């Protein structure tokens, strides 16, 4: 059954309103429903039309924060280099300053170590969390690992260093080359390079269809799905929240904002601000038959991942930073594809397809932000998943549901935006 929005709603039956039908909101709604709460899920458009529509489909088994790769001092040169997979929307720069200050702090070696360890812990829990949330209703997930191809000796050296950290953190990784690499992915034989194989990683071939299937399960289990743009929230004295939308209003006992890069717009009236940047990524469908590769294959120096898709193959990636709504530059991906075609000339855009773009909600330390809004006991947020929304959605869904139920969790401090040491804003910040 396709996810649809029904016309009738009895607002008195709602325990929790989840705003945002991306992968983070849909999984949060499922986790709250699993706690026997009556949940309504609302999106301004439809399920999986935001960033969750077009990602690379990887459920990662290991991840490093962005700050582990890019020192603050190197960022301007990285952004200016034409061949770089990371770019900045320079007109957004003044608004990104507070985020950049937090990013600079996140590059401190002790903080990088802490964040790397926590990210690995969260990734390890990713598949198990989906299984716990969905049980027999879990849509198909391909569990054949993930490959990162290293093109030069210096890339190989850096990968060896990172892999020793991954192994020390319990990650199942191994270096492969020559015949072992060709056996895993015969199409990669031309690259003649070494690669890292992540055995515990998994992928979905159509991320939008995956999220829509999860929303269908939510509806089948009794959840309500509505089409409505939420405009404002206000905490009421009785613990409920007055939620105003363009089509209807609600008075739930709790609200979870899973609104990705748009989250701060809804927090204005709460006097709270979350440090997230918009990090545009892009994808394009390639004109190649299904089966070209079996598993997602990343080329980290080009900032792209090739993922088996429903049509054949999708190229996805690029880190284009700015503030929400930043102007898209699809050429960043096309440039990456051009460089890739020097190695794999058979990879061409599929006729009739244009690059898709989505804005990742990215925190300064690459960790999600899950918290109860200070001074608002019934308003919660789950956002800032950056490059790992599909991977970590089911994990943070459980953390969110625990928080709403006032069940203490190891993660409530670690994932709160209080970790950035920000003070509560006065008035409309």
Contacting positions for ligand FAD (CB under 6 A): 19-25, 42-45, 49-52, 55-58, 229-230, 258-260, 262, 266, 281-283, 316-317, 358, 360-361, 383, 385-391
CB of 361 to ligand FAD, least distance (A): 5
Phi, psi of 248 (to 5 degrees): -155, 165
CA distances from 115 to 401, 419, 428 (A): 23, 11, 31
- Kind and range of the H or E run holding 160: helix 153-168
Smaller CB distance to ligand FAD: residue 150 or 280? 280
Closest to ligand FAD by CB, 37 or 370: 370
Rounded to a whole number of angstroms, the minimum distance from the CB of residue 292 to ligand FAD is 18
Give least dist CB 259 to ligand FAD, A. Answer: 4
Q: Which is nearer to ligand FAD, 95 or 247 (CB)?
A: 247
Beta bridge partners of 282: 317, 357
CA distance 26 to 13: 19
Q: Which is nearer to ligand FAD, 2 or 192 (CB)?
A: 2
Helix (H) or strand (E) holding 250: strand 249-250
Q: What is the CA radius of gyration of the chain?
A: 21
Question: Per DSSP, what are the bridge partners of residue 302?
Answer: none
Question: In the complex, what is the shortest distance from the CB of residue 68 to ligand FAD, in angstroms, rounded to a whole number?
Answer: 17
Find the shortest distance in angstroms from Cβ 153 to ligand FAD. Answer: 27
Closer of 275 and 389 to ligand FAD (Cβ): 389
- Kindly tell me which of 178 and 325 has the beta carbon lying closer to ligand FAD: 325
- The nearer residue to ligand FAD, 71 or 268, going by C-beta atoms, is 268
Output the CA torsion sign for 232, 235, 236, 242: positive
Write b or e for each residue in 224-243: b if 16 or more Cβ atoms lie within 10 A of its Cβ, otherwise e: bbbbbebeebebeeeebbeb
Closest CB to ligand FAD among 180 and 234? Answer: 234
Please report how close the Cβ of residue 160 comes to ligand FAD at its closest, in angstroms: 24
Burial class, 82, CB count within 10 angstroms (exposed 0-12 / middle 13-18 / buried 19+): exposed
DSSP sequence for 170-218: T--EEEE-HHHHHHH-GGGGGG--EEEEETT-EE-S-HHHHHHHHHHHH
Shortest Å, Cβ 255 to ligand FAD? 11
- Min separation Cβ 351 and ligand FAD, Å: 21
Those residues whose C-beta lies under 8 Å from the C-beta of residue 67, and which sit 6 or more positions away, are 103, 106, 107, 111, 112, 115, 364, 365, 366
Q: Which is nearer to ligand FAD, 107 or 263 (CB)?
A: 263
| Smallest gap from residue 386 Cβ to ligand FAD (A) | 6
Task: Give the pairing of strands 146-150 and 297-299.
Answer: parallel
Cα distance between residue 132 and residue 42, in whole Å: 23
């Amino acid at each position: 059954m396709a996810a649809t929005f029904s016309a009738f709603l009895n607002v008195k039956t709602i325990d929790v309103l989840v705003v945002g039908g991306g992968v983070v909101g849909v999984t949060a709604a499922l986790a709250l429903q699993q706690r026997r709460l009556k949940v309504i899920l609302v999106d301004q458009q439809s399920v999986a039309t935001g960033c969750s529509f077009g990602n690379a489909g990887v459920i990662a088994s290991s991840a490093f924060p962005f700050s582990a790769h890019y020192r603050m001092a190197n960022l301007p040169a990285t952004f200016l280099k034409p061949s770089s997979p990371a770019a900045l929307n320079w007109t957004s720069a003044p608004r990104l300053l507070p985020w950049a200050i937090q990013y600079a702090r996140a590059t401190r070696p002790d903080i990088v170590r802490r964040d790397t360890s926590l990210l690995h812990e969260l990734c390890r829990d990713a598949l198990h969390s989906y299984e716990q949330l969905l049980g027999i209703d879990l849509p198909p997930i391909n569990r054949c690992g993930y490959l990162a191809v290293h093109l030069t000796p210096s890339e190989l050296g850096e990968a060896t260093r990172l892999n020793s950290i991954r192994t020390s953190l319990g990650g199942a990784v191994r270096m492969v080359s020559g015949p072992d690499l060709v056996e895993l992915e015969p199409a990669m034989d031309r690259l003649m390079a070494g690669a890292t194989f992540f055995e515990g990683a998994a992928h979905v071939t159509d991320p939008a269809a995956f999220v829509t299937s999860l929303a269908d399960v939510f509806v089948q289990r009794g959840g309500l799905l509505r089409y409505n743009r939420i405009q404002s929230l206000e905490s009421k004295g009785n613990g409920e929240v007055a939620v105003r939308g363009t089509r209807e209003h609600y008075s739930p006992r709790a609200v979870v904002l899973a609104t990705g890069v748009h989250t701060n717009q809804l927090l204005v009236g709460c006097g709270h601000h979350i440090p997230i940047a918009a990090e545009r990524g892009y994808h394009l469908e390639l004109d190649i038959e299904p089966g070209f590769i079996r598993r997602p294959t990343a080329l980290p120096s080009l900032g792209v991942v090739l993922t088996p898709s429903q049509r054949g193959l999708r190229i996805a990636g690029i880190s284009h930073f700015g503030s929400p709504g930043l102007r898209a530059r699809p050429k960043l991906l096309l440039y990456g594809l051009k460089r890739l075609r020097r190695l794999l000339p058979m990879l061409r855009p599929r006729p009739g397809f244009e690059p898709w773009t989505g804005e990742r909600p990215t925190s300064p330390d690459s960790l999600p932000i899950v918290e109860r809004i200070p001074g608002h006991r019934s308003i919660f947020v789950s956002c800032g998943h950056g490059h790992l929304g599909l991977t970590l959605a089911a994990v943070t869904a459980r953390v969110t549901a625990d928080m709403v139920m006032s069940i203490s969790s190891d993660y409530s401090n670690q994932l709160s935006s209080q970790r950035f040491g920000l003070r509560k804003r006065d008035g409309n910040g």
